[in-house]
Amino acid sequence: MSHQRKNKPPPGAKKDKMSQFEMTWGVIRPYFAQYRWKLYYVIVISLIASSFEPSIAVMVKPVFNAVAEHKEEARPLLWVVPLGMIFLFALRGAFVFYAKYSLEKLVLKVVRDIQVSLYQHFMFLSLAHYERSTTGEMMSRTVNDTAHMNRIIPMTVDAISQTFQLLGLIGVCFYMEPKLSLLAMIVFPAALLPTQWVGTGMRRYTKKGLREVAVINSMMQETYSGTKVVKAFAMVTREIERYREIMYKLLGIQYKYARVKNLISPLLGAMGAIGIAPIVYYALLRLTEPGESAAGVIGSMGAFVGAVALMYNPLRKLGEIFGHLNSAYGAAERIRATFEQQTTVTESPDAIVLPPMQNEIRYHRVSFKYEDEWVLQDFNMTAKKGELVALVGVSGSGKSTVVNLLPRFYDVSEGAITIDGVDIRKATLRSLRLQIGVVTQETFLFNDTVANNIKYGSDDKTIEEVIAAAQAAYAHDFVMKLPSGYDTVIGERGVRLSGGERQRLAIARALLKDPPILILDEATSALDTAAEREVQKALDSLVKNRTTIAIAHRLSTIRHASKIVVIKNGKVAEQGTHTELMAREGEYKRLYEMQFFLTEHATDHYSDGDAGAETSD
């Protein structure tokens, strides 16, 4: 399945105007396809459960009539109603339990599928999306919004069940008292009018609340990950206060939501009383009319009022259901909007598997535009097999963009990047990225064992190969000093390791992958002087058999590069070897001498020799 196919939003996620129910059903419908017969089965069981209360109303009338006429034979019937009610309600309870339990299992499966689909969708979005969105927002969409979605199906099935029950009771009412039933049908629909206003309010406050939850999730993720910075700058109290302010804002929204939600029952109760009052008046009026049989009226009216009273519960539930459905619709809108976000990096339907690199990587008149700003313009560069090409430039010159375009983290705006003459946009993403190893300054490690972190992306490798990669990266010695060696869990983002240790594990990960192409973003920058020399020797031997593109911050580390490309304002200012560029009196020499001067100046002030100037991107 292609990347483009996987990222396709579910059917129904269209931008045209549609009802809330159509929009919501359009989001969840694809996930019910494999479970639809189970859903139909649950609906049938729910409808059977709903038929019991109308049966009770029908059973009451003959008993009331017999009692009202003081018939002796009515005495045995006195047990019929209570025993019949016990039996019917017990049977109804069994059906309701089975229906609700089966439905909840079904809903849990569907919500799980939606969460997996959302996670997959986020993972396939390009890096541009992650630069615009926060981690907290994406977590909120995947967890909190889908939690609201799990109300929709049970409530919809419950609405069908309650409607069926209501229609049954209405049928009973018309059978017994047609005139009173017509009056009730005029008055009772008014009881549902408040639910429209209440539902709109619940939907509005749900969307606001979910937005604030996303802000809270993002803030917690940032502060927990950046605890060292928070403490170092004495910002703990300020962050707590900021968290409290956001929580109070969310609390205010929750108060408003609770106020609107809890208006449903009293409003429905009041409207129900208004509806029953004319019916009671009409019944009493009939009792005063000459020629009417009091016994007949009492029997009919008793059963009728009983049926009307039973109607109140499904009416109340329908009102509450519609209110809560509006709340869930707010979450559905956010999920729909997420599925409508499309990646800017897609796979061609006829994409080919890229063969292992044999000759060269070529950037041909590449331009890249980020939002409204050109980051690269008419950029040309060639890296032949086995070459080490170093990228040099001041901060913001475009070095990181050059390397990010190669694995298609972004796509070029103009021009093309080719590997052995094949445009990388015509290759499958997997075959392209499997050929590229990446080691950046921002080392990311998972909360897993050392071995699994090194094996990430190379699950087929043996522990012997893992150890060999660690030894090549000069990581083996410190790993063996850990409590459980290669089985030691290193904590989230590798917090239990030093910066240099994390960097060496990242290098070991890239070495184990053994890719023909290597991207290094100053891979030794986090190492101390002794470790840097050791790892640099390992890297020197490794790059001989790979095409390596390295972003250089410390220019002293790339003097041996096959080619140095100097980037200025998104364009190639000059390129050549270290010796050639130093002889040209150009941009490279200016940067080199400036860095050398700053390093010498720092050495005069700091005896430990750790200070140094760097250019960064």
pLDDT digits (tens, 9 = 90+) for 465-491: 999 989 888 889 889 999 999 999 887
Contact predicate 267/194, CB 8 Å? yes
Alpha helices in 262-368 (DSSP H): 264-288, 294-340
DSSP 126: -
- CA 15 – CA 401 distance, rounded (Å): 33
Q: Mark 312-322 as b/e (b = at least 16 C-beta within 10 Å).
A: bebbbbbbbbb
Residue where the block lists tokens 């059977």: 48
- Three-class secondary structure of residue 548 per DSSP: strand
Give 509's Cβ-side CA count (13 Å radius). Answer: 28
Domain coordinates of the chain in residue numbers?
Answer: 3-340
Task: Collect all residues with Cβ–Cβ distance below 8 Å to 513 and sequence separation of at least 6.
Answer: 437, 457, 458
Nearest to 553 by CA among 612, 615, 598, 617: 615
What is the chain's Cα-based Rg?
36
Nearest to 389 by CA among 516, 558, 582: 558
Phi, then psi, of 436 in degrees rounded to 5: -120, 130
- CA 155 – CA 216 distance, rounded (Å): 29
Query: Do β-strands 414-419 and 360-370 pair in parallel, antiparallel, or remain unpaired?
Result: antiparallel
- For the entire predicted model, the pTM comes to 0.70
- Three-class secondary structure of residue 334 per DSSP: helix
Query: Do β-strands 436-439 and 571-576 pair in parallel, antiparallel, or remain unpaired?
Result: unpaired
Query: What type of residue is 418?
Result: T
- CA 617 – CA 130 distance, rounded (Å): 19
Strand partners, 575: 565
Paired tokens of 281: 């008046």
Query: Do β-strands 388-392 and 414-419 pair in parallel, antiparallel, or remain unpaired?
Result: unpaired
- CA 248 – CA 202 distance, rounded (Å): 19
- CA 570 – CA 490 distance, rounded (Å): 39
pLDDT reported for residue 516: 92
DSSP 609: -
- Tell me the angle at which helices 264-288 and 178-187 cross, rounded to the nearest 10 degrees: 150
pLDDT in tens, 398-428: 898 999 999 998 899 999 999 999 999 999 9
Mean pLDDT by 10 residues, the chain (617 residues): 43 49 76 82 82 68 61 62 75 83 84 86 81 76 78 77 80 77 69 66 77 78 66 73 83 81 70 69 68 58 70 73 72 83 85 92 93 89 92 87 92 94 93 89 82 89 92 87 90 70 85 89 64 65 80 80 91 91 88 72 47 41
- CA 545 – CA 109 distance, rounded (Å): 49
Query: Do β-strands 373-384 and 360-370 pair in parallel, antiparallel, or remain unpaired?
Result: antiparallel
Nearest to 475 by CA among 436, 442, 448, 502: 502
Query: Do β-strands 414-419 and 571-576 pair in parallel, antiparallel, or remain unpaired?
Result: unpaired
- CA 94 – CA 39 distance, rounded (Å): 18
Kindly report the number of other CB atoms within 10 A of residue 442's CB atom: 9
For domain 3-340, the CATH class is mainly alpha
* β-sheet with 436-439: strand ranges across: 436-439, 517-521, 547-551, 388-392, 563-568, 571-576
Q: Mark 113-131 as b/e (b = at least 16 C-beta within 10 Å).
A: bbbebbeebbebbbebbee
Angle ∠(423,425,431) on CA atoms, nearest 5: 95
Paired tokens of 80: 């019929």
